[in-house]
């Protein structure tokens, strides 16, 4: 039997693809993990912004096959940066010509004055080496420092992989006149009913009787191939874990250097107001300035097409940092939203919050090296760790699904993953 720990997108995708007998064990009362959707007073909120890009047509068709066309929105992405009291198109490095003239000249001069052979051993060094001091210090460093809640010199140079919007000098200069710089996800899909619709689509391929909710894993005996939950002890042939890798190693009694693995946590406020706000276009805004508590604000009303402003607001904290009292933090957030001009005279009529811990793992050269060794040790006991936190990587929801299907195929001896219909 395949024992699958976690009823989020990764665990359910593996269950949908495996050819073995299986059981999904989920600690929470409902499936979905961080892809749950909240419905409150007419607002549709996810735990945070989850949007779908589907680079793999077969995976898109699989998921979309369970969703009626009129349930899914195709949204042309429009995002900006709130910087210095004005809106700059994202990505910042491609749109420095939209800055005030003096700042534009600073960015352009530094871009063409990068020292030959500048070091690129860390994420922060890479930002300086590729974009120069001004672009790095005006946006890239302050924004990512707020996001990751850590010193960027700790992060691996490739910490964000394909998701980082790289651009060379020629592309940056060309965009001054041509405009329209595109990132990896110029458009995205989003269900009108929220991201839980995607979860339910995947879950429709899983036998309901093989999903056990409200049951938390508390111990693993790797040599004995048994796992103990809050309700029982289970014997497995293979254990597929989607929990954070650090927790899996703890439960397996695997020795590891705890200083290697770190992460941030993110408090998300979902906020509903009585009327539309001034921003009628953006899907989300990036906010690098330290005077605002949040680093990103998303507009569900602009994405879904609602007549009342509906926001998700993200605030980053270090993994050991204490989250302030929620009521006081909400007051500060509302004040900062007004200070930033995102909210004017709108009245808050509904709200919800969640703390995601972990939210973004800190990918470092040490963690990348160590996790591969730990994966080999775990695999020797037929234990496999997948998903954003299980694989300890920066990835999309589609990546999680694809990796789960891929693993199911590999463990079944298939050259390529195959979905069980």
Count Cβ neighbours within 10 Å for each residue of 39-75 and write b for 16 or more, e otherwise: eeeebbbbbbbbbbbbeeeebeebbbeebeeeebeeb
Decide: helix, strand or coil at residue 409: helix
Q: Rounded to whole angstroms, how far apart are CA atoms 181 and 194?
A: 28
The pLDDT tens digits for 387-409 are 999 999 999 999 999 999 999 99
The pLDDT tens digits for 92-139 are 999 999 999 999 999 999 999 999 999 999 999 999 999 999 999 999
The pLDDT tens digits for 309-323 are 999 999 999 999 999
pTM of the entire predicted model: 0.94
Which has more confidence, 107 or 416? 107
Strands, E, within 181-329: which ranges? 187-191, 211-212, 217-221, 226-229, 233-235, 238-241, 264-273, 284-286, 296-299, 310-318
Choose which CATH entry (3.30.70.920, 3.40.190.170, 3.40.50.720, 3.40.50.2000) describes domain 2-36+44-68+193-259+364-411.
Answer: 3.40.50.720
Q: In this structure, are residues 152 and 142 in contact, taking their beta carbons and an 8 Å threshold?
A: no
Map out the domains of the chain as residue ranges: 2-36+44-68+193-259+364-411, 91-178, 264-356
Q: What is the mean pLDDT of the chain?
A: 94
CATH superfamily of 264-356: Protoporphyrinogen oxidase, mitochondrial; domain 2 (3.90.660.20)
- Residue labelled with tokens 């730990």: 374
Task: Using DSSP bridges, classify how beta strands 22-25 and 37-40 pair: parallel, antiparallel or unpaired.
Answer: unpaired
Task: Give, in words, the CATH class of 91-178.
Answer: mainly alpha
Q: Rounded to whole angstroms, how far apart are CA atoms 15 and 24?
A: 7
| DSSP H or E run through 40 | strand 37-40
CA distances (Å), origin 84, targets 19, 286, 333, 344? 55, 12, 19, 18
Q: Please state, as a whole number, how many other Cβ atoms lie within 10 Å of the Cβ of residue 186.
A: 12
Q: In this structure, are residues 309 and 325 in contact, taking their beta carbons and an 8 Å threshold?
A: no
Q: Rounded to whole angstroms, how far apart are CA atoms 144 and 390?
A: 23
Q: Rounded to whole angstroms, how far apart are CA atoms 409 and 90?
A: 38
């Amino acid at each position: 039997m395949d024992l699958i720990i976690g009823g989020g997108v990764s665990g359910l995708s593996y269950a949908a693809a495996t050819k073995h007998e299986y059981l999904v064990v989920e600690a929470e009362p409902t499936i979905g993990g961080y892809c749950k959707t909240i419905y409150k007073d007419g607002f549709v909120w996810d735990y945070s912004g989850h949007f779908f890009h589907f680079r793999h047509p077969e995976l898109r068709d699989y998921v979309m096959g369970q969703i009626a066309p009129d349930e899914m929105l195709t949204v042309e992405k429009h995002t900006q940066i709130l910087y210095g009291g004005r809106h700059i198109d994202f990505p910042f490095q491609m749109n420095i010509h939209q800055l005030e003239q003096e700042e534009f000249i600073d960015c352009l001069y530094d871009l063409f004055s990068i020292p030959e052979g500048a070091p690129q051993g860390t994420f922060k060094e890479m930002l300086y080496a590729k974009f120069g001091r001004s672009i790095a210090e005006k946006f890239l460093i302050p924004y990512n420092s707020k996001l990751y809640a850590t010193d960027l010199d700790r992060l691996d140079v490739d910490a964000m992989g394909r998701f980082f919007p790289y651009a060379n000098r020629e592309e940056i200069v060309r965009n001054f006149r041509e405009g329209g710089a595109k990132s990896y996800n110029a458009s995205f899909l989003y269900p009108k009913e929220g991201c839980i619709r995607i979860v339910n689509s995947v879950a429709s391929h899983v036998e309901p009787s093989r999903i056990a909710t409200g049951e938390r894993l508390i111990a693993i005996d790797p040599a004995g191939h048994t796992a103990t939950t809050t309700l029982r002890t289970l014997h497995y042939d293979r254990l597929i874990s989607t929990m954070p890798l650090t927790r899996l190693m703890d439960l397996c009694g695997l020795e590891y250097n705890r200083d290697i693995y770190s992460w941030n946590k993110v408090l998300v406020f979902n906020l509903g107001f009585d009327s539309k706000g001034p921003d009628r276009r953006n899907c989300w805004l990036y906010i690098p300035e330290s005077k605002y508590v949040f680093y990103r604000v998303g507009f569900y009303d602009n994405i879904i097409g609602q007549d009342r402003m509906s926001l998700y607001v993200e605030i980053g904290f270090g993994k050991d940092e204490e989250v302030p009292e929620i009521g006081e933090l909400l007051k500060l957030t509302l004040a900062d939203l007004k200070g930033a001009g995102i909210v004017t005279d709108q009245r808050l009529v509904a709200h919800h919050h969640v703390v995601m811990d972990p939210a973004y793992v800190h990918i470092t050269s040490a963690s990348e090296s160590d996790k591969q060794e730990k994966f080999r040790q775990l695999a020797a006991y037929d234990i496999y760790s997948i998903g954003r936190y299980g694989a300890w990587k920066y990835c999309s929801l589609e990546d999680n699904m694809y990796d789960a299907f891929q693993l199911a195929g590999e463990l079944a001896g298939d050259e390529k993953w195959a979905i069980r219909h």
